[in-house]
Amino acid sequence: MATTTALTALSLRVPSRMTMVPVAASLHRNVAKMHVQEQNVRGIAAAGNHVQETVESLAKIDIDDPSDWYEVPVHTVTVVDRQRGVTHRFPVPQDQYVLHTAEDQQISLPFSCRHGCCTACAVRVKSGQLYQPEALGISAELKAKGYGLLCVGFPLSDIEVETQDEDEVYWLQFGQYFARGPLERDDYALELAMADE
């Protein structure tokens, strides 16, 4: 397993448009996700059994056998980080999340939950395609307008994205439910509430 992970990490550094990735490496990345999904559906005991079966099947894959490898397109991702005033450009294999790949390359991007449930890693896609079936933190309407989440987004082409202010995205998504506009902080009311406790 350690060899598979090392090979996957090495493949990210190769400046090519396609990267050979062992089938085992792709399956290995999904073990943790399957574990969480199984926990939610069947409970801890069932999850443990499923993860054990997956690990056993991975152990049977021969990483030296070319038939156990497949080609994965690699796309150039450009992230314009508005908050920090920095632009990052880095390769991301099509079968990996943008945020995770950036972190593997020591690139710091905004994030919080890592599961597609918040808007801390929200971006606006300027060009290209970002596939994000697990992005629960933004509505279908915002996705259609070009918003995405890097923590659960896969590049389907070379893409350029721009980070967004989390509060701005939250307001775009839920602002319609606040009839008077954004709520303003009321320090006096906060002091009164704290004094009652």
Model pLDDT, residue 166:
85
Looking at residue 184, the DSSP 8-state letter turns out to be P
Hey, what are 119's tokens?
A: 């808007």
Let me know the angle formed at the C-alpha of 24 by 18 and 25, rounded to the nearest 5 degrees: 55
Q: Which amino acid is at 41?
A: V
Model pLDDT, residue 88:
97
Helix (H) or strand (E) holding 5: helix 2-12
Model pLDDT, residue 194:
76
Domains belonging to the chain, first-starting first, are 2-64 (no CATH), 75-177 (3.10.20.30)
Model pLDDT, residue 21:
53
Model pLDDT, residue 103:
95
| DSSP SS3 for 26 | helix
Q: Which amino acid is at 18?
A: M
Model pLDDT, residue 90:
97
What's this model's pTM, rounded to 2 decimal places? 0.61
Model pLDDT, residue 29:
47
The low-confidence residues of the chain, meaning pLDDT below 50, are 1-16, 24-44, 46-47
Instruction: Give residue-wise pLDDT tens across range 101-155.
Output: 999 999 999 999 889 988 999 999 999 999 999 998 899 999 999 999 999 999 9
Question: Among 7, 136, 141, which Cα is nearest to 69's?
Answer: 7
CB-based burial, 23-37: b 16+ in 10 Å, e otherwise:
bbbbbbbeeeeebee
Model pLDDT, residue 18:
56
Model pLDDT, residue 20:
54
Model pLDDT, residue 159:
97
